Amino acid sequence: MVAFLFREYSIRKLRQLTQRLDICLDLLTEEQIWRRGSEAENAVGNLVLHLTGNVRQWAVSAVGGAGDIRRREAEFAAKGGVTKAELRQQLGETVEAAVAVFAGLSEERLLERVQVQGYDIPVLDAVYQVVDHFALHAGQIQLLTKLYTQRDLGFYAHLSRPAHGEQTP
């Protein structure tokens, strides 16, 4: 039961965050997607490439058994050359591949160990790392989107509505 809940929450969270990133990409221009304030900063495009690489390496490869094709340095070195549509497609396909891997995880499999980036960890840790890491960078992308567009993204607008006719305290 706990394994099922963990699996389902992980899948739901990845999909939710991916949908939010789709909204961010819709709001941004191609120039904004590749904008960097300085060489010490990452553009939204770099962060999307990084999420795609990380999810593929940790979930699809380490947990799912696919070959590891990640080129981490290239994720951060890119200064364009990948369109908004391509970023969305690559991330979406990779997240859905991870979802397929996660959906098949049994309680026993969650306890098995995998090797990834030099770490020897249980599959459960790898899944948690994927979701946690994704949420961290999704938050950065959401902040950059708000800064560039001067818009509230509305992801929590439902919290401003009174419940059961009562005023929100």
Span 3-16, pLDDT tens digits: 999 999 999 999 99
Q: How confident is the model over 103-160, as pLDDT tens digits?
A: 999 999 999 999 999 999 999 999 999 999 999 999 999 999 999 999 999 998 888 8
| Three-state DSSP string of 45-88 | HHHHHHHHHHHHHHHHHHHCCCCCCCCHHHHHHCCCCCCHHHHH
Q: Residue 1: its pLDDT value, please?
A: 87
Quick: pLDDT tens for 12-43: 999 999 999 999 999 999 999 999 989 899 99
Distances, alpha carbon 39 to alpha carbons 28, 79, 80, 136, 160, in Å: 20, 10, 14, 20, 38
Output the pLDDT for position 167: 56
